[in-house]
Amino acid sequence: MKNIWPTLFLGISCIFVSVSAAQAGFDSALSAFRDKRYTEAAVEFKKCNTAKAKFYLSLMYSMGWGVPQNKEESVALMRSAKQQELAETQSVQVAGRQ
């Protein structure tokens, strides 16, 4: 029987690297947002595709910061963020019960 530990370790390492890269992208976007570099922030938030990033994009579309003002897009992003956040919360709760 093969030793699966090296493969398992590699898989887990890849997950942590991708999570930390996604967090770095979000942090970069948030920094741009706080510095009022809205166009740059919008590009970075779109790459993140997380509930938090969608929330900020929703705000930006609502106000027209760095993107064309679009209330419909703002509402769609807010709904998507809420659904994604709910799904993420439920998956964490289910994992915690096992």
- Could you list the pLDDT tens digit for every one of the 98 residues in the chain? 566 665 545 555 544 444 454 577 899 999 999 999 999 999 999 999 899 999 999 999 999 999 999 999 999 999 999 998 888 777 666 666 54
Tell me the pLDDT tens digit for each residue of 56-73. Answer: 999 999 999 999 999 999
Q: Which domains does the chain have, with CATH numbers?
A: 5-97 (1.25.40)
Predicted local confidence at residue 62, as pLDDT? 95
Q: How far apart are CA 15 and CA 77, in angstroms?
A: 26
Q: What is the helix (H) or strand (E) element at residue 92, kind and residue range?
A: helix 71-97
Q: What pLDDT shows up at residue 75?
A: 95
